[in-house]
Amino acid sequence: GAVVSQHPSWVICKSGTSVKIECRSLDFQATTMFWYRQFPKQSLMLMATSNEGSKATYEQGVEKDKFLINHASLTLSTLTVTSAHPEDSSFYICSARRDQNQPQHFGDGTRLSIL
Amino acid sequence: EDQVTQSPEALRLQEGESSSLNCSYTVSGLRGLFWYRQDPGKGPEFLFTLYSAGEEKEKERLKATLTKKESFLHITAPKPEDSATYLCAVPSYYGGSQGNLIFGKGTKLSVKP
């Protein structure tokens, strides 16, 4: 159990376009979902935390107008990178958690490349 | 402030050569310590949760242990398929956080046949 699906796994697009990434918990209800960014050979950097039906909480330095997060249901959260530019190219990973004190379960990530 | 430090940064082993990875932590009120495995280009895969000092968990060739200040991930007779980066993390409730995971930088394990 505890499977998290992330889609797409890889996307290439032109500068200025918006990209939506989906994160789904397939076999459990996730009260909280998290979005991370990971640079090569570095650990995960938390971008934001979202609770179902509430506004996301963004980490310091993360532009909430650039990275729009929607947690519409207990099994789905989306991250939209608006007006993406080459510096937004990175590996984005989501995770989902049933409740506090439970482990986070991660998706397989989305490799975003902006040309 | 909550912190997690992992050592070594990289570890090269021969197949069958047992060893241990270390994770030391500083957190106010531990509410679990998590071990993950991450393969290149993939998200972290959950391995273990440890909640209290003295607790041990095992899975195949891996055994995780916990003390009041650190955790060890013991790898017994590793195989090449155990090669990955192993991440240790603790949830933080510092400053109103919602149990956000504080990750160590990981230990990159390479097992040569």
The number of C-beta contacts closer than 8 angstroms across A and B is 59
Residue B97 confidence (pLDDT) above 80:
no
Residue B95 confidence (pLDDT) above 80:
no
Task: State pLDDT tens for residues A20-66.
Answer: 999 999 999 998 999 999 998 888 999 999 988 888 999 999 999 99
Q: Comparing A71-75, B16-20, B79-83, which segment has the lowest mean pLDDT?
A: A71-75
pLDDT, average across residues B62-67: 97
Cis peptide before A40 (omega within 30 of 0): no
pLDDT at A55: 87
**DSSP per-residue string spanning chain A:** ---EEEE-SEEEE-TT--EEEEEEESSS--SEEEEEEE-TTS-EEEEEEEETTSPPEEPTT--TTTEEEEEEETTEEEEEE-S--GGG-EEEEEEEESSTTSPPEE---EEEEE-
Distance from CA of B75 to the nearest CA of A (A): 22
Interface of A with B (CB under 8 A): 2, 4, 6, 32, 34, 42-44, 46, 49, 51, 57, 91, 93-95, 97, 100-101, 103-109, 111
Cα–Cα distance, A95 to A76 (Å, whole number): 11
Contacts of B103 in chain A (CB under 8 A): 43-44
Distance from CA of B79 to the nearest CA of A (A): 23
Mutate to test the interface with B, among A44, A52, A93 (most CBs of B within 10 A): A44
Residue B1's pLDDT band, with cuts at 50, 70 and 90, is confident
- Average confidence score pLDDT of chain B: 94
Task: State pLDDT tens for residues B13-47.
Answer: 999 999 999 999 998 888 899 999 999 999 999 99
Cα–Cα distance, A27 to B69 (Å, whole number): 34
**Residues B92, B100: contact at Cβ < 8 Å?**
yes
